[in-house]
Amino acid sequence: MNQFRTTASVLEIKPLRYTPAGVPVTELVLGHESEVMEAGAMRRVQFSIAAVAMGDIGLLMAQTPLGALLNIEGFLAPVRKGASKLVLHIQQASRFYADDGPVTV
């Protein structure tokens, strides 16, 4: 099963574009920082990952401001057939606002 779930902030966001078939696409770079327990010791985890949102989620993600905190669910896939570099395909996202609770998109 290919499922990926994380909390991340939006580091970069490209302008909304459309595929030749008319599907809206938003490309982002997400950043994650956390601490996890591994082998009895705390380990700091920090990474950035390329992400893409398509369809309705792509339209909604295009309106996400830089620095926004997101809970992301999706899957990992090669950027193109045969490539070793991966991209996160966002299937669901909850955006957190300072004054309100989460908003699921």
- What is the DSSP code string of the chain? ---EEEEEEEEEEPPPEE-TT--EEEEEEEEEEEEEEETTEEEEEEEEEEEEEETHHHHHHTTPPTT-EEEEEEEEEESSTT-S-EEEEEEEEEEE-SSS-EEE-
* CATH number listed for the domain at residues 4-104: 2.40.50.140
Q: What is the pLDDT of residues 47-62, one digit of tens each?
A: 999 999 999 999 999 9
Q: What is the pLDDT of residues 9-45, one digit of tens each?
A: 999 999 999 999 999 999 999 999 999 999 999 999 9
Instruction: Check: pTM over 0.95? Answer yes or no.
Output: no
pLDDT over threshold 60, residue 100: no
